[in-house]
Structure 1
Amino acid sequence: MPASTRKPLRIAVLADSDTRWKWGALTASRISPEHSDIRLDGYLLRGRATPTARQLDEVGVHADSIREVTGVEFLRAMSEAGGDSEAGGSGKAYDLLVLALVGGGVQAMLHGLRNAWGTRTGRPVVVTGYVGVVYEKLADGLLLRHGADLVLANSRQDADRFRAVYEGVGADASAVTEVALPFLGGAPYEKHDPYTVVFAAQPSVPETRKDRTYLLNRLVQHARLHPEREVLLKLRSKPGEHTTHIEELPYQKLAQRVDLPPNFRLVYGNMGEVLDRTDLLVTVSSTAALESLHRRVPTVVLTDLGVREALGNHHFVGSGCLASWDQLDAGHEPEPDATWVTRQGVAAYGSYETAFDPARERIAKLLAADGLPTLDPYYTPVTAPGYLPGILARHHLGPDGAPLPGAPAADREPGPVRQIVRRAARGAYRHGVQRVAPVIRRMGEL
């Protein structure tokens, strides 16, 4: 078919935070069959971490359309998109649906879609996966994602672990598909002048004021010890904004109490653009470390607070990147282990462009099939009667995946008053998380 008459591939991405929107939208473009023209529609799940306009702009991923929805509103839209392009009043049929959500959100949408689509075979191919490093709740998160046509694993190691979990509980593991993180890329590392050290902050790691203050002070100390270097604290979000994880103690607030040297700065922006000027990336366990390693930027995962599962830095055992601030202050230069890097899906040696081929080929076959089977999650009212109903109820769905009576599902965009009330409620929630909750916890520790 000539390119001018080829029907575009219609893709929908449902995301619940800025980082998952980035992962979902970039994944959609990476796994689309080759030579496809793409129409991308974004849906942002309404909640505590719904990204702001600034966060969306910083991510730098654009869609043909994007709107905020409740889970029930999204399911209504997908019900109309379950058949061929002529089905449904809107004529909005999708070929591919990417669920870029936390595990519970994925599970709720799978059951909701199963209910909405019923036995129709002309439905979109459903894809889900993880935004980055999987270092906690492996079984829980995986089983909540079971039921999608493709469950993407960002590395060979993850693919092996995912299949082992599914097979271990007697679930079908054929959906597991090895790919790579979709946001890797950029120019290979070259030294900069001035030499630039970047600390990639994380919203929830570490959690305590003591640990976060320690890391900030060590970063500031490094800047004072090396006045010839530029030292940057890369922040994920501004106060009042939320990302994938709740941040109760933003570094920018802690920094207000510190006398910062002139070569120390707080920066925002796209991580890839920051890496363009980075000579040393330092973090506790951020996925930014994998972006950095992919570009061969010297990368350190800190051991100052221990190598612990709670921090996520245990994932980097064997990487050659573990080091402390004392070592960095003394001039330590990390040397990553090539075998470890390759097994983590960090294709620093030229294999990145082919990393998504298995997913593309699988999706092409599914799109070419006469029809797709009914979605079949592992969790059902029979296999998890004490767990599944609660997950579905949080998204206003009953045990069968149908919307509960009174579930929020507006037929039109909210009016100005409703938008103001919603923003105020979200701001109150974030104030409670970032200001009130820490005070209550400190009082409880007295």
Structure 2
Amino acid sequence: MRIAVLADSDTRWKWGALTAHRIAPDDSDIRLDGYLLRGRATPTARQLDEVGIRADTLREVTGVEFLRTMTRATGDAAEGTGADEPYDIVVLALVGGGVQAMLHGLRSAWGSRTDRPVVVTGYVGVVYEKLADGLLLRHGADLVLANSRQDAERFRAVYEGVGADASSVTEVALPFLGGADYTGEHDPYTVVFAAQPSVPENRRDRTYLLNRLIQHARLHPEREVLLKLRSKPGEHTTHIEELPYQKLAQKTDLPANFRLVYGNMGEVLDRTDLLVTVSSTAALESLHRRIPTVVLTDLGIREALGNHHFVGSGCLASWNQLDEGHQPTPDPEWVARQGVAADGAYETAFDAARERITKLLGAEALPPLAPYYTPVTAPGYLPGILARHHLGPDGAPLPGAPAADKEPSPVRQIVRRAARGAYRHGVQRVAPVIRRMGEL
């Protein structure tokens, strides 16, 4: 079985590649071809190595290049992959606008063909904002994966509420849950704060959280306190990080038992006794392994922070409580509704998706992709989304769109890296200065 995954960041590549392995029929011998969408968050070699998921092929493409490859891969071998068969499954691991553009692009590329691949999409983690917007941008895929029972119910309600077909919504779980259950305290006892690139977003709140973490380390010198970071300065992940914690920490005298760490979250959780975060998906990974987990309330319980998602979890607490030794007790019913499945049911979490895909692959014909947004239903919204990916209102590439016939020259690659670096410098250095000047 051949599966293509198109991802636009390191976290979405992790989700897409692991999802591909989870949803493939049990008896399948998988060939995985990875495509990294060129943009501000295209993962670096270090980020890919940290994710640790290998593909049979992996290359960087524009949206139009991917669509042209998919055109050749429907009925013919994909150029440059070394394979002789068309794709069976295409996983779109992108932001909502990217998914919508690729759905229209694939519909145009495949035309009336009925032997097309099964198209799958979904979310990397907790869905706590832009629910309707993000969902409708993903509508049109054969499977829209929901990471929990709660999400599946919400997704269907949105689709049915606008008169869209909700049959694509398929309940699964986060594909990267796993690891050994927590069995007791380590030596030394280890507290891990899972940082997020964009939550909170302002300097005051991020400095506050960093200072409280450092204060906790000083109050408990017998503990090891780790600040788990997603990316290094200059790198981007799913969200833009204007104020990296590394930069803030440079101005602080750090205690000996405090460290900044990178690496695979699963490996960090192997030595964690207490996971602390504002609203990171790492909290669900931690709960899945029965590790004591706290979602902070210091900055309030607010939709903008995403920690409102954890209301009822039993995990909400403040640094004041943690400093005094508080131990959270998660609510079993809440945990079960989040697809965490600490009771072992995770092994069957992807059965429904595999059954649906097997049925679609065995069908005599698949209908054309049918997104809810069309030039009729969203004439003032859809064209702009498609144009950002060099696609016209009908999903076909616009004149002048980049070709996919050959790899860019060395000079073009250098220019591209320089432009990407300039963009990241602007986000992390120039933009905050301009924002502060505007507040004067």
Match of 1:17 in 2: 9
1:146-168 deviations in whole A, cap 9, x for unaligned? 00000000000000000000000
Contact 1:154 1:180 in 2 (8 A): yes
Match of 2:92 in 1: 99
Q: Quote the Cα distance in structure 1 between the aligned partners of 2:194 and 2:306.
A: 14
Instruction: Give the 5 Å matches for 1:97-246.
Output: 97-190=90-183, 191-246=185-240
Match of 2:321 in 1: 327
Instruction: Give the 5 Å matches for 1:6-405.
Output: 9-83=1-75, 91-190=84-183, 191-405=185-399
Q: Once the 2 structures are TM-superposed, how far is the Cα of residue 92 of structure 1 from its aligned partner?
A: 5.0
Alpha-carbon distance change, 90 to 293 in structure 1, aligned in 2, over 3 angstroms:
closer
Letter in 2 for 1:14: L
Q: Once the 2 structures are TM-superposed, how far is the Cα of residue 87 of structure 1 from its aligned partner?
A: 11
1:55-101 deviations in whole A, cap 9, x for unaligned? 00000111000000000000000001223669999845100000000
Q: Quote the Cα distance in structure 2 between the aligned partners of 1:86 and 1:36.
A: 19
Letter in 2 for 1:408: P
Contact 2:69 2:79 in 1 (8 A): no
Letter in 2 for 1:148: A
Q: Once the 2 structures are TM-superposed, how far is the Cα of residue 24 of structure 1 from its aligned partner?
A: 0.1
TM-score, normalised via structure 1 length = 0.97
1:299-327 deviations in whole A, cap 9, x for unaligned? 00000000000000000000000000000
Contact 1:83 1:121 in 2 (8 A): no
Contact 1:87 1:93 in 2 (8 A): no
SS in 1 for 2:431: helix
Q: Quote the Cα distance in structure 1 between the aligned partners of 2:289 and 2:182.
A: 6
Structure 2 gaps of 5+ residues are none
Q: Quote the Cα distance in structure 2 between the aligned partners of 1:315 and 1:344.
A: 10
Contact 2:70 2:78 in 1 (8 A): no
Structure 1 gaps of 5+ residues are 1-8
Q: Once the 2 structures are TM-superposed, how far is the Cα of residue 249 of structure 1 from its aligned partner?
A: 0.2
Contact 2:75 2:85 in 1 (8 A): no
Q: Percent identity?
A: 87
Match of 1:6 in 2: none
Q: Quote the Cα distance in structure 1 between the aligned partners of 2:357 and 2:115.
A: 14
Match of 1:412 in 2: 406
SS in 2 for 1:83: coil
Q: Once the 2 structures are TM-superposed, how far is the Cα of residue 409 of structure 1 from its aligned partner?
A: 2.2
Corresponding residue pairs, total = 438
Kindly report the root-mean-square deviation, in angstroms, between the aligned alpha carbons of the 2 structures: 1.3
Bigger shift: residues 406-415 or 268-277 = 406-415
Letter in 1 for 2:221: P
1:406-445 deviations in whole A, cap 9, x for unaligned? 1122311112111110000000000001010111111111
Q: Quote the Cα distance in structure 2 between the aligned partners of 1:197 and 1:424.
A: 38
Query: 4+ runs of 1 displaced by more than 4 Å?
Result: 84-92
Q: Once the 2 structures are TM-superposed, how far is the Cα of residue 120 of structure 1 from its aligned partner?
A: 0.1
Alpha-carbon distance change, 121 to 275 in structure 1, aligned in 2, over 3 angstroms:
same
Contact 1:80 1:92 in 2 (8 A): no
